[in-house]
Amino acid sequence: MPLLEGKKALIFGVANHRSIAWAIAQSLASEGAQLVFTYQERMEKYVRELAAKIPGTEVIPCDVQSDEELDSAFAKAGEVFGGSLDILIHAVAFAPPSELENPFVQTTREGFHTALDISAYSLVAMAKRAVPLMQQNGGSITSLTYMASQRVMPKYNVMAVAKAALECSTRYLAYELGEHNIRVNTISAGPLNTLAARGVSGLTGFRNHVAEIAPLRRNIEQSEVGDTALFLSSNLARAITGETLYVDAGYNVMGA
C-alpha cells in the first residue's frame, strides 16, 4: 500500500517548478496523498499550472501575514478534506531585499518584523489552525529551515534570525502538540537555486563551495528534500518530533 494512502496534505509555498514545496508535493502525491496548495496572489498562474499536473489538487489563495486569509484557507482546506488534515507543509519565507543587501547591523525594525512574521510566526499561526483538523487522528507538520540559523552565513542576515526562531518554534510546538500525536519537524536544506534563494547574493559561489567540501562532494536536489518530507510525513517517522533534520549532503558536519 502507498505510504500516504488516504492522507490529506495542505502545502504552503509552491511558487514555481523550482520551489521546494513543489518537489515535496510530487513526493507526497507519488505515495498517494491528496493535496491542497495555497498560493500568494501574484503566483496564481504558475501554481494553477503546477496543480493541474497532479489530478485532484485544489488551490487556495493565502497571504500568511493575514489572519483572515489563514482562517479562510484552513476552513476551505477542511471542507475539501472532509474535516480532517494529516500533513501540513510550511515552505514560505521572505525578507525585504534591502535587509539582505545591507550589513546586518543596519537591520530595520520594520524589516525584522516582516521577516520574522512571514518566515517564523506563520508556522505558529498555521499550527494553531491545523490542530482542530489533526487532533482526532494525529498529524505531521514540516517546515524548511537553513543552517544560517546556527552559523554565520554572510548576507543571510535577518533571515538567519527568522530561521533560528522557526527552529525554536518547532521544538515548542512539538512539545505542546505531542499530546495530540501531532509531530512537528523542520528540514534544514542545503542551498538550492529557487526564487527565494536568489534574494541572497553569492548563491552560485556557495553551491560550488558545498560541492567541494560536503562529505558527499555534491549539492542536493529539490527531490531529495521532497523525499525527506515524505518520510517525515509518513508513519515511518512516527517517533520523530521536534527535530531539525539536515538534508545538505553532510555539509553541516564539517569543521573546515
Residue 117 or 181 with smaller CB distance to ligand NAD:
117
Nearer to ligand NAD, 19 or 107 (CB): 19
Cβ 108 to ligand NAD shortest distance, Å? 18
Catalytic residue among 39, 46, 156, 172: 156
Residues that bind ligand NAD (CB under 6 A): 13-15, 19-21, 40, 43, 63-65, 91-94, 118, 144-146, 189, 191-192, 194-197
Minimal distance in Å, beta carbon 79 to ligand NAD? Answer: 20
CA distance 80 to 51: 15
Marked catalytic residue, from 146, 172, 246, 251: 146
Q: Which residue carries 519565507 as its cell? A: 93
Q: Helix (H, G, I), strand (E, B), or coil: what is residue 85?
A: coil
Distance CA 129, CA 125 (A): 7
CA–CA gap between residue 215 and residue 212 (Å, rounded): 9
Q: How many CB atoms lie within 10 A of CB 229?
A: 31
Residue 198 or 238 with smaller CB distance to ligand NAD: 198
Verify whether residue 251 is a known catalytic residue: no
Q: Where are the alpha helices (DSSP H) in the chain?
A: 20-30, 44-51, 67-80, 97-101, 109-116, 122-134, 157-177, 203-213, 222-233
CB 247 within 8 A of CB 47: no
| Cα separation of the two ends of the chain | 44
Q: Is the Cβ–Cβ distance between 91 and 104 less than 8 Å?
A: no
DSSP annotation of 117: I
Number of residues written out for the chain: 256
Query: At its nearest, how many Å lie between ligand NAD and the CB of residue 179?
Result: 27
Which residue, 52 or 195, is less far from ligand NAD as judged by CB? 195
* The C-alpha cell that represents 219 in the structure block: 549539492
Q: Is 156 assigned a catalytic role?
A: yes
Closer CB to ligand NAD, 137 or 252, in the complex: 252
**Cα–Cα dist 192/237, whole Å:** 25
Are 3 and 31 in contact by the 8 Å Cβ rule? The answer is yes
Query: Which C-beta is closer to ligand NAD: that of 96 or that of 138?
Result: 96
- How far apart are alpha carbons 1 and 157 in whole angstroms? 45
- Residues forming the active site: 146, 156
